[in-house]
Structure 1
Amino acid sequence: MQRSLETEKIEKQLNVISILFMVLAGFSLLMVLFIPVHFMMMQSVMNMDFPRPREGPDPRKMFREMQSAFIVLYVLVGVLSLVLGGFLLATGINIRRRRHFTFCVVGSALICISFPLGTALGIWSLLTLYDKHTRPLFAERTDLGDSDFLD
């Protein structure tokens, strides 16, 4: 079957979009490795000797009281980075394979939260996904079923 020029253009855009989703997913997952390093740096700052004012609060005592909140915050950021990275990776893979159209739309909308690169990528991917030539590409892959697993 002869593909139109517009369909080929959309396919190339979807391939670029999928690669960019995977790159942003990699950055998000890479951030998880930076979290323990940042926590250790914060611990060293909290354990420094700060000058204490005569009638002011003790800085070490204040830091000890905040330490549990910091740990919860670091764990929360780590879990959210893992979830977001996994979701973006799955979105990129599904856009590349032209499967699960709704999932790809949700992933494209979700990445808009990550300003400015994610917003630009999310808007571009949403505009591309809602192009009239894109939906048939996803439907075409669904019609093939699992026979195209070697792609």
Structure 2
Amino acid sequence: MNITMTLNGKKISADIDADMLLIDFVRDHGCYSVKRGCETSNCGLCTVFLDEKPVLSCSVLAARADGRTVTTLEGLQEEAKEFGAFIADQGAEQCGFCNPGFIMNALALFRENEYPEEEEIREYLAGNLCRCSGYEGQLRGIQAFLAWKKEKSGKESEKS
């Protein structure tokens, strides 16, 4: 079957098997930030945005993305770079395997709620598996990022 989608801003058409998963499709097209972890929709490593909403690409058939927009971390480099530095600063990227999925979910959270409370952060990111750090570094990184963002927006509004 032939499908067409917009992947990270680029229109792509491909002939696929009907049972191909979205994770395999995006990886076949060079999006290696999308990782295979549990293959049971429990770890968050394969998170992508499908029409701007986070989905687990190990649980979505590629055919379901036909005519839609798929965004991976490769398509969000500027947005992710700013936030990712705060995660790294807290030592939360020990092995780095979970980072792409974690960052994708954090960006989705920030799009939904610009300044979430700690409980909201914990709840939203509960589906991300990290075997190294115990999540406290990620939480500190998010909190530091949010504090920086608030300070930055305050300084920008003072200039106006």
Normalising by the smaller structure, the TM-score range is under 0.3
Question: Which structure is higher in helix share?
Answer: 1
Q: TM-score, normalised by structure 2?
A: 0.26
Greater strand fraction, Structure 1 or Structure 2? 2
Higher gyration radius (CA): 1
TM-score (structure 1 length as normaliser): 0.27
